[in-house]
Amino acid sequence: DAGVIQSPRHEVTEMGQEVTLRCKPISGHNSLFWYRQTMMRGLELLIYFNNNVPIDDSGMPEDRFSAKMPNASFSTLKIQPSEPRDSAVYFCASSLGLRGANVLTFGAGSRLTVL
């Protein structure tokens, strides 16, 4: 298995532009998580899905952020409009099952820089 695949690996954009980050989870995993990592706040859970349904989006910072999971093999995290404070590394992770001591498999991350 190729693991969790994220794209793009790096994105530099200007304030106000729309940003779309993509994630392909491990085949067979039915839970998907989006995390954001910054120096100031560490790793924060933004949202997670189970069987393509959003379970908890309480970590999404504001309405500029949205996430979708149209099918079991694809998810997007969109920021519109982007702001400099959104600059961070965004990680996608997947796991098998929602209950239990989940072992999350993380992607390599998408480093976003908003100028």
Partner 1 sequence: AQSVTQLDSHVSVSEGTPVLLRCNYSSSYSPSLFWYVQHPNKGLQLLLKYTSAATLVKGINGFEAEFKKSETSFHLTKPSAHMSDAAEYFCVVSDPVWTGTASKLTFGTGTRLQVTL
Question: Which residue number, 49 or 65, has a Cβ lying nearer to partner 1?
Answer: 49
Site membership for partner 1, residue 45 (CB under 8 A): yes
Which is nearest to 86 in space by CA: 33, 14, 9, 23?
14
- Tell me the C-alpha distance between 92 and 76, whole Å: 10
User: How many chain residues touch partner 1 (CB under 8 A)?
Assistant: 24
Question: Which residue number, 47 or 114, has a Cβ lying nearer to partner 1?
Answer: 47
Closest approach, Cβ 33 to partner 1, in A, equals 8
* Residues in 5-34 that interact with partner 1 by CB under 8 A: 31, 33
- Tell me the C-alpha distance between 41 and 62, whole Å: 16
* Footprint on this chain of partner 1 (rule: CB under 8 A): 4, 31, 33, 42-43, 45, 48, 50, 55-56, 91, 93, 95, 98-104, 106-109
